[in-house]
Amino acid sequence: MKKNRSNKRKRLNGMRSKNNSQTSKNNENLGIFNFLKIKKNSIIGIIGVLIVAGMIFSFSGGGKNTEMNSMMNEHVVSLSAQDKKVTMYKDPNCGCCSGYADELRKNGFEVTIIKEKNMRSIKNKYGISPSIESCHTSVFDNGYVVEGHTPVEAVMKMINEKPQINGIGMGGMPSGSAGMPGMKRAPFKVYTIEKDNSNNLYLTI
C-alpha cells in the first residue's frame, strides 16, 4: 500500500514538473513574441519618422540651393549658339574658377578656359570695377560679361531679359556660391556692369 502511494506521489510530482516546464517554456515563447512585436513596432516607427523627415526636407527645398532652383525655373530660357559659348579667363593658380565653369556646363553652356597671368588687363578690358572683382571673368559670345561666381540663375535672367548693360558680376568668392564650397552665409548681391562701367544692384538672391 505504501509502495502504491509512493508511486502515485512520484507520478504527481512528475506531472507538476512537466507542467511547470511547459509553463516556463510558454512564458519564454511569449517573451520572445512580445520582444519581436516591440522591435517590429519600433522599426515601423523609425521608418515613419524617416518618411516624414524626408517629406519635410523635400517641401523645404532640400538644401542651400532651394531659392536658386526656384528662381532658375522662373528664368528657363532656350539658349542660342551665342548664348551657350563662353570664354572664361582665370588665374592659372585658381582652382575654384574651374568649379564655376562646371556649374555653367551643367546648365547647358560650352565653356573654354583660358589661363591668363595678367588678369588685370582682362578686368580693364571688360570694365570690371574693383568693387565687383573676382578671380575669373567669363565672356559670352552674345556680348555679355559675367564676373566671378555670379549665380547661374542671375546669368539666365540676364540672357532672358536682355538688358542694355555690358554684363553682371558678384565680387569676391562667397561661400556657397556657384563653384565655391561651404554654406551660403549671406544673400548674394549681383551688380550690373553698365555701359559706362558703373555698377548698380541687379539682383539679390
Strand-pair category, 201-204 with 189-193: antiparallel
Taking residue 84's Cβ as centre, other Cβ atoms within 10 Å add up to 17
For residue 15, is pLDDT > 80? no
Query: pLDDT tens digit string along 126-161?
Result: 999 999 999 999 999 999 999 999 999 999 999 999
52 shares its domain with 27: yes
Query: pLDDT tens digit string along 175-198?
Result: 888 878 888 899 999 999 999 999
3-state secondary structure of 192: strand
29 shares its domain with 43: yes
137 shares its domain with 163: yes
Dihedral pair phi/psi, residue 56, rounded to 5°: -65, -45
75 shares its domain with 120: yes
CATH number, domain containing residue 114 = 3.40.30.10
Q: Specify whether the CB–CB gap between 131 and 79 falls below 8 A.
A: no
State which of 45, 60, 75 marks the end of a domain: 60
| Structure confidence at residue 182 (pLDDT) | 86
127 shares its domain with 192: yes
Query: pLDDT tens digit string along 66-114?
Result: 444 444 444 456 788 888 999 999 998 888 888 999 999 999 999 999 9
State which of 43, 60, 77 marks the end of a domain: 60
Q: What domain range includes position 138?
A: 66-204
**Number of folded domains that form the chain:** 2
